[in-house]
Amino acid sequence: MNLILIGPRGVGKSKVSRSLSKLLQFPVVSTDSVAVYEEGGLSIPEIVNKHGWKHFRELEYQILKKLEYAHNLILDCGGGILFDLAEDETEIISQRKLHLLRKIGKIILLERDFDELVGKVIGDKTRPDLSNKKAYSEILTKRLPLYREAAHHICQADGKSKEEIAKEIKKLLLL
């Protein structure tokens, strides 16, 4: 069985996935790290600046295709993994990626308090700019119901250590 961690930027997917890896002895694959590798070491902001968001979303899809038949791994997904861009550049749910994610494994949504999320992502130079709190709020408002709809399980991360969250996920999935 594969475990897939989704949720907004800054929720703690990468840290929780590493704790879960230690607990379950499953390797972790980060879609963002694979994207950086696939693009010759360009950072995600560099990929987006050079090729645009459509290219990045397509890159995510190709990464998921490569993992379609993987077993016993933890997939740490970038915050936008569930989304593609429409012709007018607006963000839409990606049925193709959602289909693959559900085929790959159990989807676990990590949720955290909004103000805590904003504090983690504002000014983070390793990710595309979200320095505007209002813009991030709008993104979260649109995405949160879609994250919830996609998830098999929801795990509230507020006030918990990454180890506590990992143990909760293990218990939740009866592993």
Nearest 5°: CA angle at 142, between 78 and 9?
25
CA distance 72 to 9: 24
Q: Is 0.85 topped by the overall pTM?
A: yes
The CATH number of 3-167 is 3.40.50.300
Binding-site residues, in ranges, read 10-15, 32, 57, 79, 127, 143
Q: 1-56, pLDDT tens digit by residue?
A: 899 999 998 899 999 999 999 999 999 999 999 999 999 999 999 999 999 999 99
Question: Within the chain, how many helices (H) and strands (E) appear?
Answer: 8, 7
- CA–CA gap between residue 23 and residue 175 (Å, rounded): 10
* Binding-site entries for substrate: 32, 57, 79, 143
Triad 145, 149, 151: Cα angle to 5°: 115
Longest CA span, the chain? 44
Binding residues for ATP: 10-15, 127
Domain boundaries defined on the chain: 3-167
Annotated binding site for Mg(2+): 14
pLDDT tens digits for range 140-160: 889 999 999 999 999 999 999
